[in-house]
Structure 1
Amino acid sequence: MRAQEIIAVKRDGQELMADAIEAFVRGYVRGEIADYQASAFLMAVYLRGMTTTETAALTRSMAQSGETLDLSGLSPTVDKHSTGGVGDKASLIVIPLLAAAGAFVCKMSGRGLGHTGGTLDKLEAIPGYRIGLSPVEMVAQVRTIGACLAGQTETLAPADKKLYALRDATATVGCLPLIVSSILSKKLAGGAKHFLFDVKVGGGAFLDGDDAATELAQALVDGAAANGRSAVAVLTDMNAPLGKTVGNALEVREAIAVLRGEPGIDEALRELCLTLAGEAFALCGISATPDAGKVRAESLLNSGAAAQKLRQIIAAQGGDQS
């Protein structure tokens, strides 16, 4: 099908076949389909929506538009995504917890969106810390120490970068199928088999409204399943900043304090991270249930194993461990 025929199908509210979606994404990344045609396609999706099958095909096509990380031979492989919120430093605690339990985690993080801070911004507050790892370096580090925390690369899911810029310019950012495909395409390209989604709800969250968060959480789990991955989405409260600090360097220090079990830490932050880790442990088979996983996570926190894992990650990426 020609680009205009694909656009017309979606404009008229009909379902697109997977091969048509794949051809459109491939053509756009190669420069064979113009921005104005891709803009029309995005607006048609925004107005007409997509079925779960269509969204899965779009996600898969975007993930396959560039390199994918090869984590073969490693098990279990887990990735985490948060929709973001004020003071959200949970990834800095949860990723070391997962790796300390024997999971393999390659976490590619982004910068802040709107009023929410991004994990990448926080990592840059660590003196010397290298966020710009190549895909080869990421995989090597995960195979060596079990985890890496780095920035997104140009070569993974390049279709997402192009389409996201166009969504921003065409007022089509707030479209569920496009949000889901954007998030999941990068996760698929990251090579993990299990996904943990932390979907924030409340005034400090990026998403507006409880219903929108619930809908996104279900769509992410469904989209992962449609692409052969297992996932769990946890709705977490963001009506107040997470933890006691806001600001990149301060949040890094607070995350380290939680990992070390220092006195005076924010118990709600600690509890959230234990809950998220417990859900991930149950998801990937490290623990039988989320409750058992939470107990395992608390043990790793209390023993100092998770704090030691974060030190390993920082050292491997050239950061100051002090």
Structure 2
Amino acid sequence: MKKVSVLIVDDSAFMRRILSDILKKDHRIEVVGTARNGKDCLEKIHTLNPDVITLDIEMPVMDGLEALSIIMENHPRPVVMVSSLTKEGAESTVKAVSLGAVDFIQKPSGSISLDMKTVEQDVVRKVLVAGEANVNVHKGKPVGEKVSVPDGVRNQGNLVAIGTSTGGPRALQQVLTTLPGNLPAPIVIVQHMPEGFTKSLSERLNRLSEITIKEGEHMEELQNGIAYIAPGGSHMQVIQGEGGLFIHLDKTAPINGHRPSVNRLLQSLSHLNNVSITSVIMTGMGADGLEGLIELKHRMVQTYSIAESKESCVVYGMPKAVVKSGLADKVLELEQISQSIVQSLHIRRR
């Protein structure tokens, strides 16, 4: 089995050593080199040709975001960002994953921290997943055109639910920014992300979209044309109340390592009455969402399931599980999903 070769880029010698020590413990990974900044990284890509790059964001000479843009344009390959937990760090990280970074690793307590050892398993897992990622799927593809809602289509009990993980922020940007502001349904979204990052993600997507995009709040009523992203670190469910649908947040135990969990969201939708669900499962490792979709399809006739196709997935895991189960009503490339969402609301008018 070929090892995943990794180039570690960080201006801190301490962090370079910590990351190297963590990754070298796994026999599936080979650290082929380190670099001190973005400029040094670009020079070493030519000589070392790594499969994966871990890239710090804040560095002198050339920072991580500038280096990432050049890498994705000229030397596309999986990049895992190394981020601080500050608000500015979260915003830069969200921008990085929107630019094409596959995922990110958190620095628990700043740029120089022994706490990094507490996230060893996470670091190894994300590097290995990145080694299998297809970062060329979006290269050269134009952003999809805006979708319009056919005349006369109103919300008659429609709800859209989206689940995604690795590669998801960029996929969400493609889908959400092409939806019309007058979308006759609310959208609930689970994107696997830790606490502190989903707010930056929702704010960035909101600036780029006609629909309103925000972090979901506990007992907030769902409204048409608004997308609600589950806050990192909390499960999000939808419950039926007096006159409408409401968000319920909780911090119960992670499900299969995920909190928020796509399964938990979809399972909650299976208990709603007189609601037509459009379920969308996009890029991500694993199978989160499959169990929830099985329950949703079993309990509710009005469930329309869309899965992203392998051709456009950064990581073809979550959608693959749905497709293999036979529960996907449509298997579509990313650029076609927003149109299909709108069509699903139109087709199922009652």
Could you say whether these structures have the same fold, taking a TM-score greater than 0.5 normalized by the shorter chain as the test?
no
Q: What TM-score do you get using the length of structure 1 for normalisation?
A: 0.36
More strand by share: 2
Q: What TM-score do you get using the length of structure 2 for normalisation?
A: 0.34
Larger RCO, structures 1/2 (Cα 8 Å, 6+ apart):
1
